[in-house]
Amino acid sequence: MSTLEAAKSGPPRRLGPELAAFGRFMLRELKPRGKLLTPFNLISLPIILAGVVILVIRFTYGLGSVTNLSQEFPWGLWIGFDVVSGVALAGGAYVITFVVYVMRLEKYHPIVRATILNGLLAYVFYAGALVFDLGRPWNIINPVIGNSFGYNSVLFLVAWHFMLYMAAEFVEFSPVVAEWLGLDRVRRWLVRLTLGAVIFGITLSTLHQSGLGALFLMAKAKIHPLWYTEFIPILFFVSSIPAGLSMIIIEGTISHRVFRDQIDPRRHGSFDQIIVGLAKGATIALFVYYFFKALIFVHEHHWWLLGDGWGALYLIEVVGLALVPCVLFAYGVRYRRVGVIRTAAVLTILGVVLNRLNISIIAFNWNSSTHYYPSWQEIVVTLMVVFAEIWVFRWVVSRMPVLRDRPVAARVEVRKRWKRTGT
């Protein structure tokens, strides 16, 4: 029985003792567990602290005090990496929830909670990093409260979709929080909402992944012709599938090593089978993505653009970091080589990040006399966002039933239902 349920069990139910029990429970959970002086902590903590100091300076003295952004280059690393790339890498959540809750492929159920958590945190931190880049961050509330709605802007769509998708992902993850708090009745209600939230979330994802690409449609004159196409929205959506699946493969591999003690030993073997299944999906998605790129390239008659450095960069991205990982994935799936699959997953992530950076930063204003290079402060804040997300992910996984089986209370409840229904 959990602490909260123990507090509730007494006959006179009063709010005061319940709140006190909840407070004690939260204080206990907030205390750090495990070793503090680990290599990861020693590297990440100073960067997070430095990032916080830089953000204080940024919000006090403005964007110009810590970034190399200008009127000509208003979007830099914070948008290009955190928002545009980060959202693509979070695409695994909508793919896996579709596979598990809609297609009913139960094989992937063991990874669904960790994937939803990863997606939720990615949106909270990476999309949340949008606030750093806004010259007047207090205006972020405008699309919500109806002050200068701007409903004909793509950013209006993206803002609403981000907000609604974060809410949908929280609903998908909320049964885990209820289990952690021992609120079985609440958990049962939240589980009933899951399928609706999943369908809503998938619909939103397909639209805002492509919506992020649609942001660049209005910058035709600024983006290098090798990267500009009217099909950017479709390419953004299609590439988010292998990016998300690759992220699950890498994140799952690391989680299985770091949180090995939390996972049922019977599941260790099945995880390799899950990786092979995910790799199969990534192969097909990358194959489709590669042919989309090839068709657009041929359609636009871009042969003459391959001769210079931009052409080399394009070939590295499309051949080296899309076609090559596709072949590696296929080989890994065929011969069950998990190491090859992991290598392909890393290459795919690099390819999608390079694609997003090319469109939003590197090949943006490519014919300008001046160029944008991120300042060291921008790099530190970007690292801070990544490390902060990992810290929160670690905190949640080590306390809530994300990787481990359901707690005893939930198992007892399920057993009671089995006896009642005979199923």
Partner 1 sequence: METYRYLNIFETKGLEYLLLMCFLVLFVLLIRYLEGNKHPRNDGV
301 is an interface residue for partner 1 by CB under 8 A? yes
Spatial contact of 223 and 359, defined as CB atoms under 8 Å apart = yes
- Listed ranges 67-75, 78-86, 151-159, 328-336: which one lies at the site for partner 1 (CB under 8 A): 328-336
C-beta closer to partner 1: residue 283 or 355: 283
C-beta closer to partner 1: residue 266 or 301: 301
304 is an interface residue for partner 1 by CB under 8 A? no
Q: What stretch of H or E contains 35?
A: none
Spatial contact of 172 and 201, defined as CB atoms under 8 Å apart = yes
C-beta closer to partner 1: residue 259 or 297: 297
150: alpha, beta or left, given left = phi > 0 and alpha = psi -120 to 50? left
d(CA 43, CA 26): 27
3-state secondary structure of 364: strand
Query: Of 333, 380, 386, 402, which lies in the binding site for partner 1, with binding defined by CB under 8 A?
Result: 333
Spatial contact of 123 and 162, defined as CB atoms under 8 Å apart = yes
Query: Side chain identity at 285, as an amino acid letter?
Result: A
336 is an interface residue for partner 1 by CB under 8 A? yes
- Listed ranges 122-130, 212-220, 329-337, 353-361: which one lies at the site for partner 1 (CB under 8 A): 329-337
182 contact partners, CB below 8 Å, separation of at least 6? 1, 2, 3, 4, 5, 407, 409
**Which of 313, 214, 326, 312 is CA-nearest to residue 280?**
326
- Listed ranges 25-33, 80-88, 330-338, 348-356: which one lies at the site for partner 1 (CB under 8 A): 330-338
Query: Of 8, 267, 280, 394, which lies in the binding site for partner 1, with binding defined by CB under 8 A?
Result: 280
**Which of 238, 176, 205, 170 is CA-nearest to residue 94?**
205
d(CA 339, CA 370): 42
Task: Name the token pair of 411.
Answer: 């198992």
287 is an interface residue for partner 1 by CB under 8 A? yes
6 is an interface residue for partner 1 by CB under 8 A? no
How many residues bind partner 1 (CB under 8 A)? The answer is 15
138 is an interface residue for partner 1 by CB under 8 A? no
231 is an interface residue for partner 1 by CB under 8 A? no
Query: Of 9, 27, 36, 335, which lies in the binding site for partner 1, with binding defined by CB under 8 A?
Result: 335
How many other CB atoms are there within 10 angstroms of residue 382's CB atom? 23
Query: Of 107, 260, 299, 411, which lies in the binding site for partner 1, with binding defined by CB under 8 A?
Result: 299
Task: Name the token pair of 199.
Answer: 């369908």
395 is an interface residue for partner 1 by CB under 8 A? no
Query: Of 45, 105, 298, 306, which lies in the binding site for partner 1, with binding defined by CB under 8 A?
Result: 298
283 is an interface residue for partner 1 by CB under 8 A? yes
C-beta closer to partner 1: residue 22 or 287: 287
C-beta closer to partner 1: residue 199 or 294: 294
DSSP single-letter state for residue 223: B
Binding-site ranges for partner 1 (CB under 8 A):
280, 283-284, 287, 291, 294-295, 298-299, 301, 330, 333-336
